[in-house]
Amino acid sequence: MGAAKHLAPDLAPTSMKVDVAIVGAGFAGMYMLYRARQAGFTARVFERGGGVGGTWYWNRYPGARCDVPSLEYSYQFSDELQQEWEWSEKYATQPEILRYAEHVADRFDLRRDISFNTTVISLQWHNDAWLVTTTAANDASPHREHTTTARFVVLGTGCLSSANVPRFPDDHLFTGGTYHTGAWPHEGVDFSGRRVAVIGTGSSGIQSIPLIAEQAAHLTVMQRTPAYSIPARNQQLAPEYVASIKANYAEFRRKNSLTRAALGGDTPTGPHGASEVNEVERRAALEERWQKGGLLFLGAFNDALTNPESNRLIADFVRDKIRSTVRNPDTARKLTPDDIIGCKRLCVDTEYYETFNRPNVSLIDLREQPIERFTANGVVVRSATGSRSSEEHEFDAIVFATGFDAMTGAISKISITGRNGTMLRDAWSAGPVNYLGLSVHGFPNLFTITGPGSPSVLTNMIVSIQHHVEWIADCITWLKDHRMSTIEADADAQQRWVQHVNTVAGMTLYQSCSSWYLGANVPGKPRIFMPLPGFPAYAQTCADVARDGYRGFAVSHH
Ligand code: NAP
């Protein structure tokens, strides 16, 4: 560490040695720690936040809850845990999920191996080990750097953890409060009596808008692209239903893992394409799913994301629902999407469209009225009249529900230097190449949990996390048992894998819009479809690769 030479002796880097360094104490990092310990490795987790929970630690905005049912959005590695934990609602709120994460940390005594308020700033491959440099946000010794030596590094940095805060001309002038949904103040924000703007209408905007509207004096929603949103139909969980799942939890989990999204095994995808049935049957099937609510809406038919005509028929159904809910025809028009449904991730809401019938809510369509600049008091947009004039809207607070630098954002904040001085940012300059979404050529003994190139964000994240953690734990145990020191993706295998992900994504309609799956929401980010559709086939491939002695990886002896 060259920089360390300039530090006073009491600020010199301290050193620790572990088998496995884990970045992030969200659901991925916590379980990785648990499995590493179980396999007999020493491990240390470095966590930027002051507590466990990852995305659920940071996303405390009003209305934040998971849109995967609680009984599925939970760990399955411990039957005692899944039997004893009581979820209260079909879709758990952020505070309840955070309590669950904290419970897991306590129950499995994880905290003693987690360094909180600690940011990993660099990873450097040196003498067959990783040098992990961290800084701790510790008031007593700010900017103190520590170096940990680790044989393996596992990145559990989260797919939606690096906030995307777009810049607007003169945005520094605004004197009111500004908030990002993904970095919400822990003490909460009181919008009572205030004029609030929300910029962005993805999942976070759609969840927070109805609640902010209830509190604020006036809410102005600034929408660039209208989203498709399906009612959640959230409810308290009936004890008899929970008991029936818990009586046969393993089978419930197994059925879920056999679906494409590792989600909703009890509601299988319909056997027909949407254009194969007549209109009466189609409407009936869609209405049934609409009434049931949630993400499985798109599973009414088996070709929603492969057949453009079927997709249009399904989208028409939702467009009709929006028009029949929103009373003001001009607002309804603006809220009605015209693109492929499901291309951007589907949203799930409670009273989102109904919120626009409130007298204190208005909508600005940024495609018709782009933001020109910020002022001390608010935001200037192009005038609605179609003339060249502008209009200023005054706000006391602006909420950025503008999403994340997804899948690679948190990783690219760390300076990662692999074999022969290769920087990960260079290796990924044209997109995040990798093998299996787990490993990158040139970066030995470095693993990504739910990284680009794996099903990840197209699935129930906890299932994908568990799958990756177990695969990684088995892999490093195998290395130990076979007295091997390093493992790394082969260049050829990586090339073929990237091609495979492109081919599979190319068979879908996912590439037809500017989604965060493609990196299209972040200016300058290379456009490449990052996740791989289809969990079961992927999990089979990972199992086959391991069974074949880690086919496609280069492994070296001590
Ligand atoms: P998002 O889906 O990326 O939505 C961001 C919104 O901000 C979009 O409407 C986007 O418009 C808009 N936006 C971005 N940059 C803008 C700019 N410069 N000017 C104006 N508008 C701009 O982000 P998110 O809502 O935080 O959700 C991200 C993902 O997190 C979700 O897709 C989901 O996977 C996950 N999530 C899940 C839950 C849940 O479980 N219920 C809740 C929240 C989030 P464009 O569409 O035009 O880019």
The Cβ-side half-sphere exposure at 514, using a 13 Å CA radius, reads: 9
Closest ligand 1 atom to Cα of 200: 7
Looking at residue 371, its pLDDT comes to 98
Looking at residue 351, its pLDDT comes to 98
Lowest mean pLDDT among 69-73, 137-141, 183-187: 137-141
Q: CA-to-CA distance for 288 and 277, rounded, in angstroms?
A: 15
Tell whether the model's pLDDT for residue 6 goes beyond 70. no
Mean pLDDT of 182-186: 97
Which among 203, 225, 338 is the best mutation to test ligand 1's pocket, defined by most ligand atoms within 8 Å of the CB?
Answer: 203
| Whether the CB of 522 sits within 6 Å of ligand 1 | no
Q: How far is CA 278 from the centre of its chain?
A: 37
Closest ligand 1 atom to Cα of 181: 26
Percentage of residues of the chain with pLDDT beyond 70: 96
The closest alpha carbon to 457, from 401, 414, 519, belongs to 519
Mean pLDDT of 313-317: 98
Sequence-distant contacts of 7-10: CB under 8 A, at least 24 apart:
7/145, 10/141
- Start-to-end CA distance of the chain, whole Å, equals 26
Distant-in-sequence, close-in-space partners of 460: CB < 8 Å, separation ≥ 6: 68, 72, 73, 256, 261, 262, 263
Looking at residue 70, its pLDDT comes to 98
Tell whether the model's pLDDT for residue 5 goes beyond 90. no
Closest ligand 1 atom to Cα of 203: 25
Q: CA-to-CA distance for 55 and 24, rounded, in angstroms?
A: 10
* Residue scoring higher pLDDT (500 or 388): 500
Question: What are residue 253's phi and psi, to 5 degrees?
Answer: -65, -40
| pLDDT tens-digit series, residues 14-23 | 579 999 999 9
Distant-in-sequence, close-in-space partners of 286: CB < 8 Å, separation ≥ 6: 297, 300, 314, 317
| pLDDT tens-digit series, residues 409-448 | 999 999 999 999 999 999 999 999 999 999 999 999 999 9
Tell whether the model's pLDDT for residue 500 goes beyond 90. yes
Q: CA-to-CA distance for 184 and 163, rounded, in angstroms?
A: 11
| Whether the CB of 225 sits within 6 Å of ligand 1 | yes
Looking at residue 68, its pLDDT comes to 97
| Whether the CB of 66 sits within 6 Å of ligand 1 | yes
Q: Are 89 and 235 a contacting pair, CB within 8 Å? A: yes
Looking at residue 140, its pLDDT comes to 62
Looking at residue 139, its pLDDT comes to 52
Name the region of 521 (left: φ>0; alpha: ψ -120 to 50; beta: rest). alpha
| pLDDT tens-digit series, residues 228-259 | 999 999 999 999 999 999 999 999 999 999 99
| Whether the CB of 201 sits within 6 Å of ligand 1 | yes
Looking at residue 12, its pLDDT comes to 40
Tell whether the model's pLDDT for residue 142 goes beyond 80. no
The 3-state DSSP class for residue 54 equals coil
Q: CA-to-CA distance for 116 and 134, rounded, in angstroms?
A: 11
Tell the burial category of 165 from Cβ atoms under 10 Å away from its Cβ (0-12, 13-18, 19+).
Answer: middle
Q: Are 510 and 517 a contacting pair, CB within 8 Å? A: yes
Mean pLDDT of 330-354: 98
Tell whether the model's pLDDT for residue 380 goes beyond 50. yes
Mean pLDDT of 28-46: 98
The 3-state DSSP class for residue 493 equals helix
Q: How far is CA 366 from the centre of its chain?
A: 25
Q: Which pLDDT band holds residue 385 (cuts at 50, 70, 90)? A: confident
| pLDDT tens-digit series, residues 83-115 | 999 999 999 999 999 999 999 999 999 999 999
Looking at residue 137, its pLDDT comes to 83
Q: Which pLDDT band holds residue 143 (cuts at 50, 70, 90)? A: low
Interval between CA 217 and ligand 1 midpoint (Å) = 24
Q: Where are the alpha helices (DSSP H) in 135-197?
A: none
| pLDDT tens-digit series, residues 451-499 | 999 999 999 999 999 999 999 999 999 999 999 999 999 999 999 999 9
Secondary structure (DSSP) of 428-478: TTTS---BTTTB-TT-TTEEETT-TTSSGGGS-HHHHHHHHHHHHHHHHHH
| Whether the CB of 156 sits within 6 Å of ligand 1 | no
| Whether the CB of 458 sits within 6 Å of ligand 1 | no
Looking at residue 10, its pLDDT comes to 38
Tell whether the model's pLDDT for residue 558 goes beyond 80. no
Looking at residue 7, its pLDDT comes to 37
Structure tokens at 15: 């050193």
The 3-state DSSP class for residue 307 equals coil
Amino acid at site 420: N
Alpha-carbon dihedral 410, 413, 414, 415, rounded to 10 degrees:
150
